């Protein structure tokens, strides 16, 4: 996190020494402040940014109506994921053939109809338990810091002529949301989220086998067609890990 801040401040210093005409130093400093903020985003900051990014995403996607088959299925699925340590869960279905699902720190949960079409309720529940795990374990907060840093770094260049913008624009929010949806988590984070999902399913007395078959189905997908698959490597190995936990009963 410190390297982008150094580059932003170095750019501001270089501009000052060179006496560049039209350079907005206030804007440069604001950009540097944004980068500093990115590295220390509070939980409230992350929730606020997630609120905005999720709302922007909802504007650009078709959401299944409350009385649709997809929405009713999702309600059944989420009923088996109670007490997840993620407050204010707001789950909806995006009507798209893409295979994906994600959750943000504000409780925004979105699953794509393409994923629901290829999975049964137990499998969808296992996947969403995994996504909730990323939130509950703090992985999405770290992903937000990375995404926000990238947005602030680009703002440093833009601020040279236009000054810093206090609020993110719609396009910036859209980009921020896209980075969060496609965030690449480490293998240890993925494994931890898998175990979180398994434990959550056990807590709700839900069937855990769906988590295994969900991974098996994802493993068969072409990585180029599924953004979810590309961010969740080693599905076969992870399926075997859950199978082992099922055999042990814990």
Among candidate residues 131, 178, 190, 244, the one labeled active-site is: 131
**Are 119 and 127 spatial neighbours (Cβ–Cβ below 8 Å)?**
yes
36: tokens are 């500093």
83 contact partners, CB below 8 Å, separation of at least 6? 200, 203, 204
Residue 45's nearest CA partner among 3, 99, 105 is 105
**Are 31 and 152 spatial neighbours (Cβ–Cβ below 8 Å)?**
yes
Q: What is the distance between the alpha carbons of residues 139 and 143, in angstroms, rounded to a whole number?
A: 6
- 190 included as an active-site residue: no
List own/partner pairs for 112-117 with CB under 8 A and 24 or more apart.
113/64, 113/70, 115/228, 116/70, 116/73, 116/74
Q: Classify residue 62 by its DSSP letter.
A: P
The residues that are catalytic are: 131
């Amino acid at each position: 996190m410190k390297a982008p801040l150094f580059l932003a401040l170095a750019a501001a210093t270089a501009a000052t020494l060179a006496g560049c005409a039209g350079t907005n130093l206030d804007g440069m400093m604001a950009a540097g402040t944004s980068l500093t903020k990115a590295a220390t985003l509070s939980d409230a900051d992350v929730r606020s940014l997630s609120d905005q990014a999720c709302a922007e995403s909802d504007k650009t996607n078709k959401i299944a109506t409350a009385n649709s088959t997809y929405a009713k299925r999702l309600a059944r699925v989420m009923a088996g994921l109670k007490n997840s340590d993620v407050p204010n869960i707001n789950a909806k279905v995006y009507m798209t053939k893409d295979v994906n699902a994600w959750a943000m720190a504000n409780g925004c949960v979105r699953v794509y109809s393409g994923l629901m079409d290829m999975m049964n309720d137990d499998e969808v529940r296992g996947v969403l338990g995994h996504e909730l795990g990323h939130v509950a374990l703090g992985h999405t907060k770290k992903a937000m810091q990375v995404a926000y840093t990238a947005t602030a770094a680009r703002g440093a260049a833009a601020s040279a002529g236009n000054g810093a913008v206090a609020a993110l624009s719609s396009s910036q929010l859209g980009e921020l949301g896209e980075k969060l949806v496609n965030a690449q988590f480490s293998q240890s984070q993925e494994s931890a989220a898998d175990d979180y999902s398994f434990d959550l399913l056990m807590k709700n007395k839900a069937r855990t086998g769906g988590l295994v078959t969900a991974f098996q189905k994802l493993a068969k997908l072409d990585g180029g067609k599924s953004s979810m698959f590309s961010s969740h490597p080693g599905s076969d190995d992870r399926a075997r890990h859950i199978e082992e936990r099922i055999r042990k009963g814990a």
